[in-house]
């Protein structure tokens, strides 16, 4: 049976978090705007939830359906929003696991999003998003 909890982004906008076993095997979480589906094994993993909630913010900032269309049609946009979400996820990690999560995130970004980037390239990109002194476009 799915689990349900509600959290807020920007302190006022409710987001439903549904823990489920019904995600495709390779997916940990999926953001559908105001609804986040998370594999039940990760439903209490705060960095994973932060990643998906970052996507909820992107959904509302990016113009709802426009965000989804850009995500699926533009690899540049997909890279940008995933890098932002992974950076938020890594920043939410306790320091003793942040480095391993950084490497896992770079590997996931290089393999799971159709971006045609190497893991090393993704590490450099993620470092840019983690370092506030590096300009982002």
Q: How many CA atoms lie within 13 A of 91 on its CB side?
A: 16
In the bound state with Zn ion, the residue whose beta carbon lies nearer, of 49 and 85, is: 85
Q: Taking CB under 5 A as the rule, does residue 122 contact Zn ion? A: no
Using the contact rule CB under 5 A, the part of the chain among 63-71, 85-93, 114-122, 127-135 near Zn ion is 85-93
* DSSP state, residue 26: T
- Give the helix/strand (H/E) hosting 118: none
Question: To the nearest whole angstrom, how small is the minimum distance from the Cβ of residue 59 to Zn ion?
Answer: 11
Assess contact for 19 and 8: CB atoms under 8 A: no
Q: Taking CB under 5 A as the rule, does residue 85 contact Zn ion? A: yes
In the bound state with Zn ion, the residue whose beta carbon lies nearer, of 25 and 133, is: 25
């Amino acid at each position: 049976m799915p689990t349900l909890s509600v959290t807020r982004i920007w302190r006022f906008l409710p987001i439903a978090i549904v823990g489920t076993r019904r995600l495709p095997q390779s997916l940990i979480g999926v953001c559908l705007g105001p609804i986040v589906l998370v594999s039940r094994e990760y439903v209490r993993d705060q960095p994973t939830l932060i990643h998906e909630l970052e996507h909820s913010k992107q959904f509302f900032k990016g113009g709802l359906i426009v965000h989804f269309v850009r995500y699926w049609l533009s690899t540049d946009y997909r890279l940008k929003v995933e890098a932002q979400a992974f950076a938020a996820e890594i920043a939410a990690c306790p320091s003793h696991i942040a480095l391993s999560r950084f490497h896992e995130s770079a590997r996931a970004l290089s393999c799971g999003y159709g971006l045609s980037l190497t893991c090393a390239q993704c590490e450099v990109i993620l470092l840019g998003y983690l370092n506030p002194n590096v300009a982002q476009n």
